[in-house]
Structure 1
Amino acid sequence: MALDKDKPKIKPPTTFKEQVKLFESRKLHIEDSDYAEKILQRVNYYRLSAYGLSFKDRLIKDEYVAGASFNKMVSLYEFDRRLRLLLLGALETIEIAFRTHISYELAHKLGPIGYRDKENFLNEKFHQDSLIELDSLISKSRKGELFVEHHFKKYDGVFPIWAAIEVTSFGFLSKFYRNLNEDLKKHIAKIYYNVPYLYMESWLQTLSNVRNVCAHYGRLYNKHLTFKPRLFKEDARQFSNRHIYAAIYLTERLLTKTEGIRFITDLDALISEYEEDIDFAHIGFPSNWKDLLEKLNKQKN
């Protein structure tokens, strides 16, 4: 056991009032101390202060630049929170659609339980690991999902792909698709999304990760994407694949025309509400961001 002298020095906890004072000591303008304290009672100092990273003075450690304020930091926090909620709704639609597409095509081309045959996949070890994970998900869902219990009772726990797919996550779908044989991947990508399968592999990986960030209240503002998506050359000339706009663009691409119009409308309203506080470079939005999304939507059938 390490002696006390060997333990790293951890800062002592601070009260909400002390946290406000700490912001002030670092040159952050506090418009209303009581309001700031109430916000910090609801939003952890450590979480909220991350939205002020772009306000930090590069020359003076731990100090904020002139004009930085608590209210602006809160505004960015609220913008990010609402952007996550908007993306969650759209990504749910995409995930459910992809579940439908992959289960339908596998069922008709491989048979109801062909997904359990290693010959239909690229990597045998990865396929085996996927089946172990899937069986675990099915078992865990037995008590909460009536359709799962039904298959255990009536079919001795044998699950056709259209039933098994319903207990999976977006991340599982992304990895499962990546391991499918190339003919199947090409077919699904072409029939439903009209793109080469290499793009679908990349996009699913990016969007499943963004979905997890949103679901676990992670930060999108002023952060790079964990998985940078593959972009077509004409798109890569318009915007970077490092920031959240790239994921937003792909989200729009994978929505139907009607879903896409609603998504653009809601996003535009959100941006308009917070545009005075947003630094668009920190979310990767090009100046013509809306035009690009609308052009993309018009190209859909």
Structure 2
Amino acid sequence: MNSDNDYMKIKPPTTYKEQVEIFQKRNLHIENSEFAEKYLQRVNYYRLSAYAITFKDPLCKEHYTENSTFEKLTSLYEFDRRLRLLLLGVLETIEISFRTHISYEIAHKFGPLGYKDKENFIKEKYHKESLDELENLISRSRKGELFIEHHFKKYNGNIPIWAAIEVTSFGYISKLYRNLNEDLKRHIAKVYYNIPYLYLESWLQTLSNVRNVCAHYGRLYNKKLTFKPRLFKEDLKNFNNQKIYAAIYIIQRLLTREESRRFLIDLEALILEYDENIDFLHIGFPTNWKENLIQQE
């Protein structure tokens, strides 16, 4: 039970008008207070103010630096929103491709139900947890997915890997791959992506987390990646692996040539539209960001 003291520590709620005034008191220039108030009716103050962290005056954390404006703040927010949407599209492509690759190779190497055999995986404990999770996913999918119900009726619930994989998440297939027999892991990484499997393991973990951030409308701008991807030494000389650019870089490495070109065109257009307000340090883009990505085509 919460005590009265706990409630006393929490700040009282503010009106939309008061939220505008808080911004103004902190030295954020607002040209049109009415517009700002209407914007805050659509985007939570707490959510929006996170983008203003980069505006803070280092000498006085309660104030923003000169030339900080509400227009620039909303521009950063809109840039981040559109970047999430762009990344979601290519992450879907990567996820579906990897589902295809891993299910095809497991089926042909170990058989349609080979994913159930602990001998085909590195750690028995993780394999059991993976199977339990998959059974729950399949159970929840019976009512909504006709192909799952079909396999229950015709094959007594024995669902081949190429069907079972379709009810899983990016995070699930990332963990499945990490625990997979090393020979098959190595084969998948080399044949489909031409990279060592240790890198592919790391990249899938990074991208599954980025995908979840995007799907739940989280912030990418000025945020560190939860799972920093393993990068080659030459890449680490050009940029660090903590910001969203590192994820964009590995996305580009996992796309086909045509997919990569389309993605780069869309990304460059987005960057150019918001170029004046973006601080590239906060998204980890090096000065030669485009050249780095083109090299991966």
TM-score by length of 2: 0.98
Work out the CA distance in 1 between the residues paired with 2:172 and 2:155: 24
User: In the alignment, which residue of structure 1 is the partner of 2:230?
Assistant: 230
Gapped runs of 5+ residues in structure 1?
none
CA-to-partner distance for each residue in 1:70-90, whole Å, 9 max, x for gaps?
Answer: 110000000000000000000
Gapped runs of 5+ residues in structure 2?
none
Listed as ranges, the matches of 1:73-84 within 5 Å are 73-84=73-84
Using the TM superposition, give the Cα deviation of residue 295 of structure 1 relative to its aligned residue in structure 2, in angstroms: 1.3
Using the TM superposition, give the Cα deviation of residue 8 of structure 1 relative to its aligned residue in structure 2, in angstroms: 4.8
Using the TM superposition, give the Cα deviation of residue 6 of structure 1 relative to its aligned residue in structure 2, in angstroms: 5.4
Go from structure 1 to structure 2 and tell me whether the alpha carbon gap of 1:261 and 1:111 turns closer, same or farther (over 3 Å shift).
same
What code does the residue aligned with 1:192 have? Answer: Y
User: In the alignment, which residue of structure 1 is the partner of 2:21?
Assistant: 21
Work out the CA distance in 2 between the residues paired with 1:3 and 1:21: 31
Using the TM superposition, give the Cα deviation of residue 61 of structure 1 relative to its aligned residue in structure 2, in angstroms: 2.6
User: In the alignment, which residue of structure 2 is the partner of 1:96?
Assistant: 96
Using the TM superposition, give the Cα deviation of residue 5 of structure 1 relative to its aligned residue in structure 2, in angstroms: 3.5
User: In the alignment, which residue of structure 2 is the partner of 1:160?
Assistant: 160
Work out the CA distance in 1 between the residues paired with 2:262 and 2:233: 27
CA-to-partner distance for each residue in 1:86-144, whole Å, 9 max, x for gaps?
Answer: 00000000000000000000000000001100001111011001000000000101111
Work out the CA distance in 1 between the residues paired with 2:58 and 2:13: 26
SS at match of 1:171: helix
Work out the CA distance in 2 between the residues paired with 1:259 and 1:234: 24
Work out the CA distance in 1 between the residues paired with 2:158 and 2:27: 63
Q: Which moved more, 1:3-12 or 1:215-224?
A: 3-12
User: In the alignment, which residue of structure 1 is the partner of 2:273?
Assistant: 273
Work out the CA distance in 1 between the residues paired with 2:246 and 2:163: 32
Go from structure 1 to structure 2 and tell me whether the alpha carbon gap of 1:244 and 1:139 turns closer, same or farther (over 3 Å shift).
same
What code does the residue aligned with 1:87 have? Answer: L
Using the TM superposition, give the Cα deviation of residue 7 of structure 1 relative to its aligned residue in structure 2, in angstroms: 4.6
User: In the alignment, which residue of structure 2 is the partner of 1:133?
Assistant: 133
Work out the CA distance in 2 between the residues paired with 1:157 and 1:173: 21
Go from structure 1 to structure 2 and tell me whether the alpha carbon gap of 1:205 and 1:3 turns closer, same or farther (over 3 Å shift).
closer
SS at match of 2:61: coil
Listed as ranges, the matches of 1:56-205 within 5 Å are 56-205=56-205
Work out the CA distance in 1 between the residues paired with 2:63 and 2:93: 43
Work out the CA distance in 1 between the residues paired with 2:93 and 2:62: 42
TM-score by length of 1: 0.97
Using the TM superposition, give the Cα deviation of residue 256 of structure 1 relative to its aligned residue in structure 2, in angstroms: 0.4
Work out the CA distance in 1 between the residues paired with 2:8 and 2:271: 43
Work out the CA distance in 2 between the residues paired with 1:109 and 1:6: 58
Percent of paired sites with the same residue: 72
